[in-house]
Structure 1
Amino acid sequence: MKTSILFVCMGNICRSPAAEGVFRAMVKSANLESEVRIDSAGTHAYHVGEAPDARTQAACRKRGYDVTDLRARQITVDDFREFDYILAMDWDNLTLLQQICPKQYKHKLMLLMRFASDHEEATVPDPYYGGPEGFSKVLDLVEDACSGLVDVVRKRANMYAAA
């Protein structure tokens, strides 16, 4: 049984595609590709169909992550049913998700940073209006949280394999 994870930010061009790219690489490195479904989306439709922000792509490329194939999309009602974890980058997007999420799926909503162990930040800040250092900071936080998330996926895979 696959674990399905959806990363969510506002426009799906900076933080959530970075998280998707980082997590894909970590899942591949952990040989868990057959155990997980990964996607990202935005709470808003500002950039639907667009590739990740060029600064996100550059920051990811510097660390060995390829996000060039990703395209922005807006979250759908079906996503709430289909994904096990719906991970918001910040409080504003978590609040928006809580407002549109059907009641029976609200337990799936949480902040990505709850899986971090090396950083105390509760959220991943939006780097869109800042400089390149903001995109680097996003990756620092996302790498930490995604590392913890890989552990969750591994434990779930082992649990299902043992059942």
Structure 2
Amino acid sequence: MSARKPINVLFVCLGNICRSPSAEGVFREVVARAGLEADIQIDSCGTGGWHVGKAPDKRAVAKARQRGIDISGLRARQFRAADLAQFDVVLVMDRQNLADVRDVWRQVGGTEPELFLAYGSSPNDEVPDPYYGGDDGFEAVLDLIAEASEGLLARIRERLA
């Protein structure tokens, strides 16, 4: 166990059943491979409350499982203002999530939210919502998340140094 205070990372999407639990699972795997589980705590949530308590979308679970990542045990929760005080890094999946979380941030302060893909090299700045599409959308989301997760870990390593 590390003696330093862990860095708390929160991933935010709309319903917390596709993109943010996928990001939580992928980033957990990246952190585990780096041996930094004691230094980085990870969670996810959604700005909407429709899916609270539900497991991730079956397609997200299946596509993550194909990559050796198990997100089936995660359960959706809704973003709350207190998250901005609890988490050191708050990463949102798209501009609408960013606007929604920034509205709360302007009122309560805390950690300023940012777009997750800012940590990657993709020309896209948003992780597209695959919910209404096919399996290919979930695969594309995982690719974007995996690449941005490596950039995020590199940035966090700088903070831990």
| TM tier, smaller | over 0.9
Contact 1:32–1:154 (Cα < 8 Å) also in 2:
no
One of 131, 152, 156 as aligned partner of 2:134: 131
Match of 2:14 in 1: 10
- Structure 2, gaps ≥5 residues long: none
Question: How far is 1:103 from its partner?
Answer: 4.7
Question: How far is 1:155 from its partner?
Answer: 1.5
Question: How far is 1:153 from its partner?
Answer: 1.7
Question: Matched residues, percent identical?
Answer: 46
Contact 2:84–2:109 (Cα < 8 Å) also in 1:
no
Q: Which amino acid aligns with 1:13?
A: I
1:33 aligns with 2:43: no
Distance 1:99 1:92 in 2: 11
Match of 1:64 in 2: 68
**1:36-47 map, 5 Å:** 36-47=40-51
1:104 aligns with 2:125: no
Match of 2:146 in 1: 143
Higher helix share: 1
Size of the aligned set, in residue pairs, is 156
Q: Which amino acid aligns with 1:115?
A: Y
CA RMSD in angstroms, aligned pairs only: 1.0
User: What's the secondary structure of 2:38's corresponding residue?
Assistant: helix
Distance 1:54 1:46 in 2: 16
- C-alpha offsets along residues 11-35 of structure 1, whole Å, 9 cap, x if unaligned? 0000000000000000000011111
Match of 1:51 in 2: 55
Q: Which amino acid aligns with 2:109?
A: Q
Question: How far is 1:55 from its partner?
Answer: 0.3
Distance 1:28 1:144 in 2: 16
Match of 1:75 in 2: 79
- Structure 1, gaps ≥5 residues long: 159-163
- C-alpha offsets along residues 72-105 of structure 1, whole Å, 9 cap, x if unaligned? 0001111010001110000011001011223522
Distance 1:114 1:44 in 2: 23
**1:106-125 map, 5 Å:** 108-117=112-121, 119-125=122-128
Distance 1:122 1:104 in 2: 24
4+ residue stretches of structure 1 with deviation over 6 A? none
User: What's the secondary structure of 1:33's corresponding residue?
Assistant: coil
Distance 1:16 1:141 in 2: 12
Distance 1:104 1:132 in 2: 38
Distance 1:28 1:48 in 2: 27
